[in-house]
Amino acid sequence: MQNWIVHNVLAHAAAKHPDKPFLLCEGKSVTFKELDEITDVLASGLLRQGFAKGDTVAILALNQLEWLYTYFAAAKIGVGVVALNARYRESELDYMINNSKAKGIVSISGYQGFDFAQFFEGFQERLPTVESYIFIGAGFPGSLSFESLLHGPVDFAKLTDSKQAVKEDDTIIIIYTSGTTGKPKGTMITNRSILESAKAQAEHLAVGPDDCTVGSLPLNHVGGITCAVHALLYSHGSIVLVPEFIPEKVLQIIDETKPTIFGGVPTMYLMVLGHKNRRNYDLSSLKICIVGGSNVEPELCELIGNHIPDASIINLYGLSESSGACILTKLSDPIEKVQESIGVAIGDFKVKVVDMEQNELPVGEIGELAVKGMCRAKGYLGLEEETKLTFNGDGWLFTGDIAYLDHNGYVYYKGRKKEMYIQGGYNVYPVEVENVLSAHPKVAYTAGIGVPDPFLGEVGRYYIILREGTAMTEEEVISYCHQHLADYKVPKQIVFVTVLPQTPAGKIQKSVLKQQYLAQLQK
């Protein structure tokens, strides 16, 4: 695949389909050839600003053209992109920009009332490695205009030298882990690892040039940059960028642009398909609905089936450390299999389940899921010990997720390793209890954690958001769980809430729930 280098894959697409639209965003269309040419100009602009191979540039923007212009331009000169989210504020920005030693920042001027230009102007002393502030929109005195870099001259000789210096194992993007179980770690994803994941996904789902996907997952997450952008780049399809996830806007985009693929976390499906104006929009163009996260609950399968009956529902499992998807259900799998299993290893990737000493376990036994393949990222930035624990010398990636395998190679997800708690000597995986609770007609969302208990060691504490217009007591929840779970899995504590802390990618932050619980104990 063009030596597994992203800018070569783009150049190949531009040569084969020069006039084919690749990026669609808010009424604007950008062909493969136009994207290649625009990013040549921007890459030259970055070179003039002093960027060179091995440097990093942070991107803080929505799912917009400028984000991908910056990404592909940086890829051409061997500059790694530090993917930030527009919802990040001081603590995240301070940590990630300094941790990655970003030489420059490309940022929108503001978002949701927050003035990034003003923020960065006053924050410069805290970011000693940053030499260039480049704003999409108005900046501060001394900063650069993104637009100006799109209209400068191209030094083709210097640009060609820079392109030729890029290697498969160079870091192309740094994505910080979602932080569901701890402090974010900068995952170094390479040219090859991101393309390996994208290629395996595209081929597994038979995605081709006629396909178009909805780019609503954030680009600072592998769900957006790998599973959407690179999978369609590899297959020469197209992507409709959704700058900001607004359910009715997504419905409108699907109705107008007729994409064939939609991917999202369960929350996104619930918000889109449950929207009050859903019936005003035609979703029949969708042929594949990809759900990321964990097993697709029966209620969600039913919801998708009712609204998009001709679409195949696909479970997708991937993480930053695997550069994107590594396990998927099959297009031919019946819905019962999709509800049970997260799928099989795709491409030439391999999976196994191991015990606490990382010894492989037999089929059917629960342990930690490990993945092997060229999709594996090359480690965590500046964290040697953490890298050794997760990425071992034999090429395996230890995911921190609990699962078991069947005789046909299907993976059955049981939750995060660190989420497991031991109640009265029995291992309890919160995801199993959450799945039961979510099936109750009054429950909208739920999240469980293990908390200390003087008698049982640990007990389950479950936070529940009820569906609008419903009411439920703690006794009802316990009684319902007793009907569906072994007694040692029944929650001991129930907390009704109206909101749950989430990462920018839409995952519930259980680490925050634990911190909140411990803070209450200290009062």
Q: Is 59 left (phi over 0), alpha (psi -120 to 50) or beta?
A: beta
Q: Which of 363, 383, 416 is the last residue of a domain?
A: 416
Query: What letter represents residue 299's amino acid?
Result: E
Instruction: Note the pLDDT of residue 92.
Output: 84
Q: Do the Cβ atoms of 96 and 84 come closer than 8 Å?
A: yes
pLDDT, tens digit (0-9, with 9 covering 90-100), for 368-402: 999 999 999 999 999 999 899 999 889 999 999 99
Which of 358, 390, 416 finishes a domain? 416
Same domain, 156 and 295: no
CA gap 441, 425 in Å, rounded: 31
Any domain includes 177: no
Give a yes or no: residue 302 inside a domain. Answer: yes
Query: How high is the pLDDT of residue 519?
Result: 86
pLDDT beyond 60 at 181: no
Model confidence pLDDT, tens digit, residues 330-375? 999 999 999 999 999 999 999 999 998 999 999 999 999 999 999 9
Q: So what's the pLDDT on residue 466?
A: 96
Residue 173 domain flag = no
Give the tokens for residue 116.
């990034």
Q: What is the CATH number of the domain that holds 332?
A: 3.40.50.12780
Distances (CA, A) of 225 to 214, 229, 349, 499: 12, 5, 20, 28
Q: Quick one: 433 and 356 in the same domain?
A: no
pLDDT tens digits for range 62-84: 999 999 999 999 999 999 999 99
Same domain, 438 and 338: no
Q: What is the DSSP string of 221-262?
A: SHHHIIIIIIHHHHHT-EEEE-SS--HHHHHHHHHHH--SEE
CB neighbour burial string for 225-237, b if at least 16 within 10 angstroms, e if fewer = bbbbbbbbbbbbb
Q: Which residue has the tokens 């936070």?
A: 463
Residue 115: which domain range?
Answer: 2-167
pLDDT of the residue at 521: 84
Whether 154 and 193 share a structural domain: no
Residues 131 and 228 in one domain: no
Which residues does 257 contact at the CB level (< 8 Å), separation at least 6? Answer: 24, 212, 240
Q: Quick check: is 176 in a domain?
A: no
Q: CA-to-CA distance for 430 and 447, rounded, in angstroms?
A: 8
Q: What pLDDT is stored for residue 297 in this prediction?
A: 80
pTM: 0.86
Confidence of residue 139 (pLDDT cuts 50, 70, 90): very high
- Cβ atoms of 451 and 461 within 8 Å: the answer is yes
User: Of 103, 132, 167, which residue is a domain's last?
Assistant: 167
SS3 for 334?
A: coil
Three-state SS for 339-354 is: HHCCEEECCCCEEEEE
- With contact defined as beta carbons under 8 Å apart, do 185 and 175 qualify? no
Nearest-5° Cα angle at 113, 110 to 118: 50
Q: Parallel, antiparallel, or unpaired: how do β-strands 104-108 and 132-136 relate?
A: parallel
Residue with tokens 């995060």: 416
The CA distances from residue 334 to 139, 239, 311, 339, 364, in Å, are: 53, 27, 12, 9, 21
Q: Evaluate the CA torsion angle 508, 298, 302, 474 in order and state its sign.
A: negative
pLDDT of 294 over the 70 cut:
no
Residues 362 and 262 in one domain: yes
Same domain, 514 and 436: yes
Measure the CA–CA gap between 39 and 45, rounded to whole angstroms.
9
Q: Helices 32-48 and 156-165 sit at what angle, rounded to 10 degrees?
A: 100
- Confidence band for 104, pLDDT divided at 50, 70 and 90: very high
Same domain assignment for residues 399 and 426: no
**Res 492 pLDDT > 90:** yes
Count of domains observed in the chain: 3
* Residue 178, in any domain of the structure: no
Structure tokens at 172: 């192309």
In the 3-class helix/strand/coil scheme, how is 136-150 assigned residue by residue?
ECCCCCCCEEHHHHC
Domain match, 339 and 434 both: no
Residue 178: per-residue pLDDT: 56
pLDDT bucket at 293, cuts 50 / 70 / 90: low
Question: Is residue 181 situated within a structural domain?
Answer: no
Q: Are 461 and 496 in contact (CB under 8 A)?
A: no
Of the listed ranges 290-304, 370-384, 486-500, the least confidently predicted one is: 290-304
What lies within 8 Å, CB to CB, of 106 at 6+ separation is 57, 58, 59, 60, 61, 66, 70, 134, 135, 136, 146
124 and 241 part of one domain: no
**CATH code for position 78:** 3.40.50.980
Question: Is the pLDDT score of 107 beyond 90?
Answer: yes
The CATH number for 472's domain is: 3.30.300.30
pLDDT surpasses 60 at 182: no
Q: Decide if 408 contacts 420 (C-beta within 8 A).
A: no
Of 58, 42, 52, 18, give the one whose Cα is nearest residue 147: 42
451 & 313 share domain = no
Q: What is the pLDDT of residue 50?
A: 97
- 3-state secondary structure at position 172: strand
In a domain, 30, yes or no: yes
301 with 361, same domain: the answer is yes
Distance from the Cα of residue 508 to its chain's centroid: 13
Q: Which residues of 430-450 are buried (b: 16+ CB within 10 A; e: fewer)?
A: bbbbbbbbbebeebbbbbbbb
pLDDT for residue 421: 86
> What are the CA-CA distances from residue 384 to residues 42, 49, 193 (Å)?
34, 31, 19
Range of weakest confidence among 38-42, 181-185, 220-224: 181-185
Give residue 404's pLDDT: 97
For the segment 189-207, the average pLDDT, to the nearest whole number, is 98
From CA 475, how far away is CA 49, in angstroms rounded? 64
Between 425 and 256, name the one with better pLDDT: 256
Residue 210 inside a domain? The answer is: yes
Q: What is the pLDDT of residue 214?
A: 98
